Structure 1
Amino acid sequence: MSAPRENQGTTTYDVIVLGAGPVGQNVADRAHAAGLSVAVVERELVGGECSYWACVPSKALLRPVIAVADVRRVDGARQAVTGSLDTDGVFARRNHYVADWDDSRQALGIKSLGADLFRGHGRFEGPGRVTVTRDDGAQQTLTARHAVAVATGSLPVLPDIPGIEEARPWTNRHGTDSSTVPARLAVIGGGGVGVEMATLWQGLGSRVTLLARRSLLPRLEPFAGELVAQGLGDAGVDVRIGVRVTALRRPDPEGPVFLTLDDGGELEADEVLFATGRTPATGDIGLDRIGLTPGSWLDVDTTCLVDGVDGEWLYALGDVNHRALLTHQGKYQARTAGDAIGARAAGRPVDDAPWGDHATTADQHAVPQVFFTDPEAAAVGLTAGQAVDAGHRIRTVDLDLNAAQGANLYADGYQGHARLVVDLDREILLGATFVGPGVSELLHSATVAVAGEVPLKRLRHAIACFPTVSEIWLFLLAAYQRDKETPHAASA
């Protein structure tokens, strides 16, 4: 390993990582495993957005809500639910999983990876040079021999509408770190954050109104958003599709928020939460010093090298490259890029061919995602529309999940739906979508099938245990075979 070296006020490392969230930690781990010295720079909490304001706290809060909903779907068990959730207990559970927003354990984890942690705001001073400014104003300059990896994540976007500053809206951070249940909550946005926040706060006792300009979960198959909207409505959420907020006002700082809607109506709420998109956290890291535009998404090649930067030294991982704003996908990129950094540093060949050791091929073909609503929505790969747009000849296979006996045993009156998207020319799966209680546990098998390009002829030999919900695979594949044997035109 090349050790850190002091030289004229600059400390030199093989690799510098900007951002100590899960993505930054993974690239640091892989680079260190390749024998390289690593510095990790973090200006907030070590562990990043995911650990303290996104994935971890939201799922810690959602789990009690979904658990009670699951119990109520089972006769003989539903009778045991005699009260409402203990919100203090739910918030305490969340606080446990975010370690009360104390990052000391994760900071020790950076050290256990073999990396050095620098707390402060990292900014580029030039190619391979980063200055870290601590809260007390002290500065230190770091230089990278081989690579700098940007893993600074993203920030919530608030729309430019009149009164938004006066309204003091929540973002995902307030939505996951609040310990007070608003009597009335307006959630703006029908994407993943919006539907999860609506599920969560309705379950905790708030009266939630969800406003979306178009369908819910618009990047999934249309039936996913429809079933999630139905589930939210059944839980008491007022779901309004095709509605836009044109103005906000909060005349009393301690009073309610008034939302003016483009349909002429007005909505009153105690708090308003905006889940209207993300922007890259690259606005103040000195991109202009290395020939890039501050605040921009960073386009990358398959090894996550940033396009338009000479010298094969700058990498962008996770949210900042805009490929898939999902923690697990960013970690995948970080592992792959960390290995590529090690190979380039050692002068070894880089295997960047599709599905190669240093290629993030899954970013284009097999991105899994789960939304922990009630019902859950889980998908991987292409939707039918995306597959057609990409030029594939496809057939879709659709079944209600209660075709599997395991689904009926999981929940009385189980309601859910599954779709496979089949490439007719190669007879492999291009995508799969599941909506229903507990379907997140079905997703990895679909991800293996899509990423592995498993032929359907072979996939039918992967036997699902009886009686599990996974047995739906048997019925989906049988339905495809029957459809194949019936002469008619392909789907596209």
Structure 2
Amino acid sequence: MNQATDEYDVIVLGAGPVGENLADRTRAAGLSTVIVEHELVGGECSYWACIPSKALLRPVLARAEARHVPGLRQAVDGPLVAADVLAHRDEEVGDWKDDGQISWLESVGIDLVRGHGRLVGPRRVAVTPAVGPDGADGADASGGEERILTARHAVAVCTGTGAALPDLPGIAEVRPWTSREATSSGTVPKRLIIIGGGVVASEMATAWNGLGSRVTVLVRGSGLLGRIEPFAGELVAETLKEAGVEIRTGTSVKGLARPGGADGPVTVTLESGERLEADEVLFATGRTPHTADLGLETVGLEPGGWLTVDETCRVRDVTDGWLYAAGDVNRKALLTHQGKYQARIAGAAIGARARGAGRLDTGRWGEYATTADEAAVPQVVFTDPEVAAVGLTAEQAEAEGRNIRVVDYDMGHVEGAVLYADGYRGRARMVVDLDRGHPIGVTFVGPGVSELLHSATVAVAGEVPIERLWHAVPSFPTISEVWLRLLETYRG
């Protein structure tokens, strides 16, 4: 096979938000940069995760909130127009075309090579041409040849993760939904079974129930959203049940079948022997890294696993420190915004090292350290009610041996919440490290709380002392007055 060889300062594998941000930072540092991508530029978040899921959820949540506002209840009593919601979702993802993203790459001087990239030794990447998203040859100017790219300074793996499917009898034949199908389906299934109890399961139960599906959620554990404060999952489950969703906890699946073929219903067999039937079944049971076919073995690493990195996202156990991994593949925090944060720091570190900078500031909260991945990870779950959390839960803090005080407050007692919605249901929790005198975790649950989260993130990441927070005066009458109530409760 003929080969074309190209040399860049930096090669980025994966053109999702993480890869784009890292490439943007290295290009801004004056380094020639190329991105290799075999699917759509913009990645999972733009086309099959964050953007389409929130486009599906927004009408559902807006209607739910409107039903608690006097004067609006009667106006929103009818069902959502599912066709309009799906059409808006399609518009938000650009009808699964990446022209706009490619234009941005061109505008900042980042090259794109379409195809599957894999390492073939230190600083070397072989790209196998792929079919472009429009069906055309995606090999760019290589004319269909394999292309060898060489990096002068760094290769960054930003390939993300895919849905993890369990090894169950019949799963291959059934071809169940994963998060991709759940966010891109062009029709509303009459009956949907969701297996899992995390963020994807909770959000998709909210979305598809709101669009008209009869939803059943099967949770192996004791409840929803097990990694957040317990009251969060309890409040979300309560609202889902009131909306008609059936939630079964402590339930395991033994097998699946689609007896009538591809267009027939799915039968889900439980460990108890009970059989359930649905038109589609969604597995929301975790993620697995896209590292199986990256050629990691050619640089002394095990293929298929998570990549272990240092504070700058440089992969450990690789000679000369030229390999980086940012985003989901390093398993530090599987969230788009945290991956972008890592990408900014990694890109800056690559640039600094390329220009011969001395020892980088990689200490806690240093310029080149991803400290927030351990201390201040924010997350929003777009359910009814919304869940917004940052930092440690009380259980996590206790497991670390911290001397803490937990402060809870009923958000329905805040005047701004009373005005926001009749019968406002929500709860706030602040976890304070008594030895350090600042919050290390904050959780809000309730309608509209997602916009409160950044204030909590600033308080946690900034390690703002409780006594200083007392001087941060929230406006009246807003939901943000919950901060005042938490502080008043803390002071007693």
Range class of TM-score, shorter chain: over 0.9
Corresponding position of 2:134:
none
1:81 CA displacement: 1.2
1:113 CA displacement: 2.1
* 1:250 aligned onto 2:258: yes
Cα deviations by residue, 1:405-455 (Å, 9 ceiling, x for unpaired): 000101101000010000011110010011111111111000000000000
Corresponding position of 2:140:
none
Contact 2:327/2:336 (8 A) holds in 1: yes
Corresponding position of 1:431:
441
Corresponding position of 2:41:
46
The DSSP-based 3-state class of the residue aligned with 1:126 is coil
Amino acid at match of 1:224: A
- Within the candidate set 297, 311, 318, 2:327 is matched to 318
Amino acid at match of 2:196: G
Corresponding position of 1:347:
356
Q: Distance in 2 between matches of 1:251 and 1:213?
A: 25
* 1:378 aligned onto 2:385: no
Contact 1:28/1:113 (8 A) holds in 2: no
**Number of aligned positions between the proteins:** 475
1:79 CA displacement: 1.4
Q: Structure 1 residues 223, 82: CA separation in 2 closer, same or farther (over 3 Å shift)? A: closer
Instruction: Extract unaligned runs of 5+ from structure 1.
Output: 1-7, 483-492
Amino acid at match of 1:44: E
The DSSP-based 3-state class of the residue aligned with 1:311 is helix
Corresponding position of 1:3:
none
Corresponding position of 1:155:
162
Q: Distance in 1 between matches of 2:257 and 2:4?
A: 52
TM-score between the two structures when normalised by the length of structure 2: 0.95
TM-score between the two structures when normalised by the length of structure 1: 0.95
* 1:124 aligned onto 2:123: no
Cα deviations by residue, 1:220-259 (Å, 9 ceiling, x for unpaired): 0111111111111111110111111111111111211111
Q: Distance in 1 between matches of 2:288 and 2:267?
A: 26
Q: Distance in 2 between matches of 1:261 and 1:375?
A: 30
Q: Distance in 2 between matches of 1:409 and 1:18?
A: 49
Corresponding position of 2:94:
99
Q: Distance in 2 between matches of 1:410 and 1:127?
A: 57
* Residue identity (%): 64
Cα deviations by residue, 1:358-391 (Å, 9 ceiling, x for unpaired): 0000000000001101011111000001101112
Contact 2:4/2:146 (8 A) holds in 1: no
Corresponding position of 1:486:
none
1:478 CA displacement: 0.5
Amino acid at match of 1:309: V
- Within the candidate set 142, 146, 165, 1:139 is matched to 146
Corresponding position of 1:309:
318
Corresponding position of 2:51:
56
Corresponding position of 1:70:
65
The DSSP-based 3-state class of the residue aligned with 2:319 is coil
1:104 CA displacement: 1.1
Contact 2:56/2:85 (8 A) holds in 1: yes
Q: Distance in 2 between matches of 1:221 and 1:434?
A: 10
Corresponding position of 1:190:
197
Corresponding position of 1:411:
421
Q: Distance in 1 between matches of 2:452 and 2:296?
A: 41
Contact 2:296/2:303 (8 A) holds in 1: yes
- Within the candidate set 284, 290, 302, 1:293 is matched to 302
Q: Distance in 1 between matches of 2:283 and 2:77?
A: 33
1:173 CA displacement: 0.6
- Within the candidate set 86, 92, 100, 2:81 is matched to 86
Q: Distance in 2 between matches of 1:442 and 1:239?
A: 29
Larger CA deviation: 261-270 vs 232-241: 261-270
- Within the candidate set 236, 239, 242, 1:228 is matched to 236
Contact 1:23/1:317 (8 A) holds in 2: yes
Amino acid at match of 1:274: F
Corresponding position of 2:286:
277
Contact 1:164/1:249 (8 A) holds in 2: yes
Corresponding position of 1:4:
none
* 1:199 aligned onto 2:206: yes
Cα deviations by residue, 1:112-160 (Å, 9 ceiling, x for unpaired): 2211000100010101000111135521111000001100000101111
